Amino acid sequence: MVNFFSNLVILAAVSATGVLGDLKSKIDYPNGLSGPFDPGFSQRTKAPLQWIDPWGAGWIPQGCKDRFLAKGYAATDAQVFNIKYSDCDRAWTFCRHKSAQLTIEQMADSFGRMSVHMRSLVRHPIALPAGGCSAQAFTEVGDIVMYGACKAVTVWVHETGHQLDARLKPAQRFSGTTPWIQALGFDSCVPDSYANSNTVEDFAQVVVVAQFNTLLGYKPKEAFPGCLDHRHGLLEHTFRYNYLEYIGSCRDRPADSKIVSMKATKRDIMRMMKRAKATEGTDPKVIGPCSFPPS
């Protein structure tokens, strides 16, 4: 029997913030998504990479420069590349710190294994050095930032899932809508322990499940078969054709940020450090850092 009272309690609890801790007592993939899902992504998908073209010295997209300066890195330590895939006429501009654990080849490969319209939600993929693996999504502009050894496709899909959740309707995340909260009430589990953090992280982890199922045609063995079918079904019904399938297009991409000098003024640094301090963990347009096992 469906417990409508419980569903209303859940809806009321998240309607204001979109966040609720300990969503469910059941975990569908108790050891996380990386172990069950990454082998399939690695073995049965392929990035349609055409070419990698490095930029000349001294220039960087403003979005990349902002991310570097906000974390205390010099933009002059950035390496900037245009990455072209065969399924889109327009290249993406990637940025990596010269000491980042991810190589540009690894970045291009992991990002390219997603469907093209999922990739089209992202403006600049960025890699910065760090221990372990964590990541952030800047949903107002479409940037995703990988800190450390985040090669796993599940991590890239998760961060792009945050863009799917928030960029299409900036005033209201899909994870905070009534249909999603009702589906959560009908389901009995979350994908993994990290998804239990709140509805935002839950949505992004269900995106991993849905992207895998759409591209490969199955889900890895579940601890509780069918326990997240309502959310998974709603997500695929809403986004499968336009975003999750390989047959999607690369339309509606965010515009690249303007090209600027790598040299930073004191004003640049003070502005970005002040912004980072004010918004870290509190700005609804900045999600994360999300923590993951190194890959």
CA distance 34 to 79: 28
What would the two tokens of residue 22 be?
A: 């300990």
Question: Is the pTM for the entire model greater than 0.75?
Answer: yes
Q: For each of the chain's 295 residues, which pLDDT tens digit applies? A: 333 333 333 333 333 334 445 899 999 999 999 999 999 999 999 999 999 999 999 999 999 999 999 999 999 999 999 999 999 999 999 999 999 999 999 999 999 999 999 999 999 999 999 999 999 999 989 999 999 999 999 999 999 999 999 988 878 899 999 999 999 999 999 999 999 999 999 999 999 999 999 999 999 999 999 999 999 999 999 999 999 998 878 988 999 999 999 997 777 767 666 666 545 556 778 887 888 876 5
